[in-house]
Copies of this chain bind each other. A is one copy, B any other.
């Protein structure tokens, strides 16, 4: 039996809790500790909950640290700091800031000889891989990404800031007719606004004017004004019963011609009951690859683009060739 990959988790929100489950499902991994800034009494699995200020004490006890904090404030600070001590995997997902984040983590990880996989998850992550694959195979073609049906945290928050709103959740939906056109190889010209629609479920405060709330949502620039938006007012009970989960998913397409009239369509689709939990499972899978690449002497920052799929599986290369190729 090979020695197990010793994993630590930083952050114990939705992604961190998913990561805990993921490590337990992977027989070649061992969960050592969960680090948090908050005082955690317990963890679901019973592994020690440790104050993040003590993280350096685990230098020789943990191989790969899964960074499960948020991209707005946690990761820009934690990513480079923790890569000075451990190999890391994170899901930094602010697309526009990836180059800057990459650079800061790369410098930190190179200085310590550690390996850090950034922006792992499904978008960025698995979706990015498919945008790259499709455009490489079919140079003369068009790429499409659709999101949903799924909860957008940003849009849900925007509704919650409206006066008179007690609870709110927003689902982004792809337009079926647009996906059909893409699947048929029609290469339509699409923008996010005409290929998605928005569905809002709102619990209003007692006595609030729901006509005004609906109007404020539908005219909110950047968030809703440009989209077809449906607003449903529901009871608090229905909200907690039917809208407590975080489903998400989406579709990446590449459609192109190899010669006149010869069309080819690649489609990658995800349907996720619990978005942060799935993201965490992707992080755990990439921890295996990071561990192996680091063993071969690789250091610095990498992304999903740099990691061959063969390193993601617990199986041996010869086994993979005979069973899965």
Contacts and interface: CB of A to CB of B under 8 A. Distances in A.
Interface in A264-309: 264-274, 277-278, 280-282, 285, 288, 303-309
A85 to B, nearest CB: 24
Contacts of A27: 139
Interface in A92-138: 95, 98-99, 102, 119, 124, 126, 128-129, 131-133, 135-138
Nearest to A270: B266
A260 to B, nearest CB: 10
Contact of A98 (B128, B305, B306, B325): B325
A69 interface: no
Copies of this chain present? 2
Query: Chain A: interface residue count, which band?
Result: 35 or more
A96 B110 CA distance: 43
A243 B130 CA distance: 31
A3 interface: no
B139 A26 contact: yes
Interface string A59-76: 000000000000000000
Interface string A132-154: 11011111100000000000000
A13 interface: no
Q: Which among A306, A322, A325 has the highest number of chain B CB atoms within 10 Å?
A: A325
A37 interface: no
B264 A267 contact: no
Interface in A301-325: 303-310, 312-314, 317-318, 320-322, 324-325
Contacts of A262: 273-274, 277
Interface stretch (A17-25, A155-163, A198-206, A233-241): A17-25
A43 to B, nearest CB: 15
A136 B185 CA distance: 31
Contact of A325 (B124, B274, B285): B124
Contacts of A98: 321-322, 325
Given A18-B258, A264-B271, A269-B269, A305 B277 contact: no
Contacts of A320: 132, 305
A133 B285 CA distance: 9
Contacts of A305: 308-310, 317, 320-321, 324-325
A325 B132 CA distance: 8
Interface of A: 18, 21-22, 25-27, 95, 98-99, 102, 119, 124, 126, 128-129, 131-133, 135-140, 183, 185, 258-259, 261-274, 277-278, 280-282, 285, 288, 303-310, 312-314, 317-318, 320-322, 324-325
22 contacts: A18-B258, A25-B139, A126-B133, A128-B324, A129-B309, A131-B324, A132-B309, A132-B310, A133-B312, A135-B324, A136-B314, A137-B281, A259-B277, A263-B273, A264-B273, A265-B269, A265-B270, A265-B271, A266-B269, A267-B268, A268-B269, A269-B269
Instruction: Give the 4 A-B CB pairs with smallest separation, nearest first.
Output: A305-B310, A136-B312, A267-B269, A265-B271
